[in-house]
Structure 1
Amino acid sequence: MTPPSAEVVRRAPKALLHDHLDGGLRPATVVELARDCGYEGLPTTDAAALGTWFRDAADSGSLERYLETFSHTVAVMQTEEQLARVARECTLDLAADGVVYAESRFAPELHIERGLTLPQVVEAVLAGCRAGEAEAAAAGTPIRVRSLLTAMRHAANGREIAELAVAYRDRGVAGFDIAGAEAGFPPTRHLDAFEYLRRENAHFTIHAGEAFGLPSIWEALQWCGADRLGHGVRIVDDVDTGGDAPRLGLLAAYVRDRRIPLEMCPSSNVQTGAAASVAGHPITLLKDLRFRVTVNTDNRLMSGTSMTREMQLLVDEAGWSLEDLRWVTINALKSAFLPFDERLELIDHVVKPGYAALGA
């Protein structure tokens, strides 16, 4: 099968479930906001050089080192104006990349250093997303963006952030998440938050199976009841590929049988050492085994990436076809924290016709 051209990949409709707001700033915006608010911690004030610095610093092979780069972006996201600008630009950048639906996640507790309340943080981000949606629609690149509120797994604010997600779920917040270093901070530390969310019929995903292995995935699913797995790349540890055909262990079989979505981020996983290369990333094996895999960016600034780039890398290095890209895009929309009829509308009236036109 002839691989899709770069132009076809660029034009393909895309759906994004795992993208961090504080990991996707434009380098020039970081420089401008730092200058305006007096933040002097940047390694350089040249926008191009700063973009390169973020990518190089994130290329350490360590999740902990990767996470340290966020100190600079979070530092310039401490006012309502800063947050709204970043959210608006995020929305416009995704729309320009062909993304028709996105869930952008952020941790409100990281943005209160200059006196904002948690609700003010959320409202500023939501306002920025709505402004970006309006501009994108006017430019002929419509997009829907919903927010996920993240609690940091090393802190003790899970229940409070979960309550915030429920309070704003009819105003643009799609669900809840926990993030941060996995080792030493199991998801069960926030069990009360997850129990509350289930009682409130609310959606949540959990970062699991990225830097830590199968026990993290097992806890996220069987103790906490996650709807989706953030990354989940280490589920491959429960797949035996040594025989004539891959054999699934009990946990891997459960994940596949239950159609639990895997929010997979190839470039990010290579940077943090969770995968050796895009060519060898478990996403291709898991796709072939018909797990519900999705393709995501994670942190566009740190990885110097976009949805188009992630898809193109899979085409170039892992032999993916246009049908593979269509399949994972539909997977993402099936798994979105969006009402069923809205998901179906995007699948039937945007994604399928878009890919049919490209295939023709």
Structure 2
Amino acid sequence: MKKNMDRVPLVQVQGLKTYFYKGKGVLSKVFGKGLRIVHAVDDVSFTIEAGKNFSLVGETGCGKSTVCRSILRLVEPTDGKILFEGQNLLEFSKREMQKFRCKAQIVMQDPRSSLNPRMTAGEIIAEPLRIHGMKKYEDEIQDEVARLLETVRLSSEDADKYPHEFSGGQARRIGIARALVLRPQFIVADELTSGLDVSIAAAILDLMQDLQDEFKLTYFWISHDLHMVKYVSDNIAIMYLGKIVEIGRAQDISDGPLHPYSQALFSAIPSIKPGHETRKIILEGEVPSPIHPPSGCPFNTRCQRKLGAICETDVPPWQDAGDGHRLSCHIPLETLRKV
């Protein structure tokens, strides 16, 4: 029985949909008049194996952060299943969700808004311990806070400082320490290196790698930084307008993206090989509104290689490129490989 349980992926997302409803007044709330539906996440599925790094990549506003917040039930999904260790989170009771919170944590994108300015770093890190009753005595809590601060390469003396006294990189470390305090299995890192200097971002990534080895963690990275994603990921999913359009092993996608949107994204990365120039694919037009997404393929309004009416009317099928590499596109694989 235990062997079968070991084969169950840590996280399985199946047909996830998260819609938001916009409208004003009594008519929109009661009769739906003037109600607008924002398709933030629309039928997303993927699997994250324990101990692996899974990255979700896409332009700003494509729904990446909504996916991670839906998985943790910080926002309530509209439909689908979210399985954690084989159990559907959407069926959890309040008590079961509280236990789940100890197993899954998030490091927010903006540390300035996610850290309480009225609390010291020590109080911020200690708060989850007090809420969940993980430590009974105050001296135990303080010892744990000091140990975690040193684990994220800060000083135990930093426990008495307030968030505004830290730099951006140090504030990220406080957020990481707070996420680790309950000893989770699964951590969502939402744009962890966004806005940081290159050297500071590299130090944060090295820290996360060391923590993964030490605490046996599984990471779910949310990012639009393709350089970072190539460095940290085991698997990558490319997202556009609330949908995943390509998914597979990190090396397969970064070295040979197949979906026209993925090819455009990765063409923007400058080549470091001497004498080798990357042909940039410039996408024309704007990303459509998630309130009125296009029919057929979500990328058809900007795709330079679309086949015609079929791309505008029919939802593209999933094509298997081998070794778990899949993409949603009407264009045959043989044609997509000829860039």
| TM band (smaller chain) | 0.3 to 0.5
Q: Which has the larger radius of gyration?
A: 2
Point out the structure with the larger helix share. 1
TM-score of the superposition, structure 1-length normalised? 0.31
TM-score by length of 2: 0.33
